[in-house]
Structure 1
Amino acid sequence: MKECPACGRTYSDFNRFCTTDGTKLADAAKSAAVPEDGNERRTIPPPPEPLPMRLTIIDQGDEGRRSRVIQGLVLDLGMQGLRIQTGTVETGRLNIIRDHTIAFKNKLEMEIDLPSATVSLTGFAAWYKPIGDGLSWTVGVYIRSMPAADREIYERYLKELAGNKGSDKLPASSSA
């Protein structure tokens, strides 16, 4: 799978340039949107232990088509997104992105077990790449929406993490 670094559209491996803007395509697993380990600039440190989470993939074209519940771990959290680890990026013909030839993103419904409560959110996978032997995947998830009460709990937890780093400031909230 290849992806346009400029617009994010995905293409088959046979394409070399984006049909929208002519940008040279990059391997999706090595896209510029995928942070290289250790090179990203975090404002919030990762949780002391990975957090349990569950997600369901919802077909972007038919919201009645849903995957089974997929287990995983949250490795990093931020105001706009998360980095998760899971053993499944495709199940029952539903891929975490949607498919490798079009730019539509499947919706992800997620539950994250924070230390104080479980929060729910809706988002989509911005990127994914295999870990080591390819039995697990790292996935970057963009948070599209979150109930207000859950957003408050989530932001409180982010402040706790940032406080452990020595900072009491978080970026301005963009509640969805």
Structure 2
Amino acid sequence: MHVASSTESLDHLYRSHHGWLFGWLRKKTGCRDHAADLAQDTFLKLLALPEMPALREPRAYLLVTANRLLINLHQRSRVERETLQALVLLLEPDSEPSPEHIVAMRQLLRQVLLMLSEELEEKPRRAFLLARLEGLSYADIAAELQVSESSVKQYLAKALAHCHGRLYGHL
């Protein structure tokens, strides 16, 4: 397909099926905002393809793509919920960590690492891990990543903003 016909085809697909897909997603999620985001992401997946496929059943294709995105959303929500539950356990005053406390800390660390590895670019993720897990200074992190200290500060700010957004629902 030519670029123009691919663009025209996607435009036609969007105009013909966006409203229907949005309605289906709104019923599935119960949230207008999540439905709008998922509908947009579904069409962005098509836009990201090197060439627009010939679709015999466009609604079926859109449903499969949207359903995969919906599953990813539910998995992220589950991880976030479990992370918050682990945080509650961690914040309970305790003089000596109980086995449950240690397990909760490990689960939280695993979930944070998963979140960081899937959602952050490499350098912000590495800067965050070097600072928080290794306790390295900005200068040491800059040397490790071969960037300036200013870049390290930007990476850490980005990572912290991302974590805050995920914990408090801004992302």
Q: Please indicate the TM-score interval, normalised by the length of the shorter structure.
A: under 0.3
Q: Given the two structures, how large is their TM-score scaled by the length of structure 2?
A: 0.24
Q: Given the two structures, how large is their TM-score scaled by the length of structure 1?
A: 0.23
Which has the larger Rg? 2
Larger proportion of helix: 2
